[in-house]
Amino acid sequence: ISFKISQVFSQPFNITSFFWHNLLKSFKKFYPLTKTHYIDVKEKMEYLRKHINNNKIIINTPINNISNYIFNISIPSINGETIVHALEQKEIYVSTGSACSSKLKKPEKTILALTKSEELATTSIRISLSHLVTYNELDELIQTLNQL
């Protein structure tokens, strides 16, 4: 089927104004939620810090000047990939690093720079948080990590 865009609309169609109009509409709808989502994720980060009670676990994520959307821990006696696979068996999905370097077998650069420890950098896991993560899911993660 062949037709001109202007035949679909009653007025001449301008793709640029169409794009900006929809972008601004989306921004108006979703931007107010960002503060609510940020507060929710920050509370979940604090919840994780408070409830991980395993002396083997080292929390690599600093307390200040951070993104509350990424929580990083290390368990020095267990390789990060081993932790990832153990959690996968319980349908808990985490990673050993950023998405662009997750297939590499090298120490996580950010954790190495932060801790100056190759052991912590190779045994770290990255837990991504969002407003969609539930407290039940966090409790299951915490319980599993505390049992390692």
The residues that are catalytic are: 100
Q: Are 141 and 92 in contact (CB under 8 A)?
A: yes
DSSP state of 91: T
Closest listed residue to residue 144, CA positions, set 122, 130, 125: 125
User: 3-state SS of 41-64?
Assistant: HHHHHHHHHHHCCCCCCEECCCCC
Number of separate helices (H) and strands (E) present in the chain: 6, 3
Burial class (CB in 10 A: 0-12, 13-18, 19+), 123: buried
Rounded to an integer, what distance in angstroms lies between the CA atom of residue 101 and that of residue 128? 15
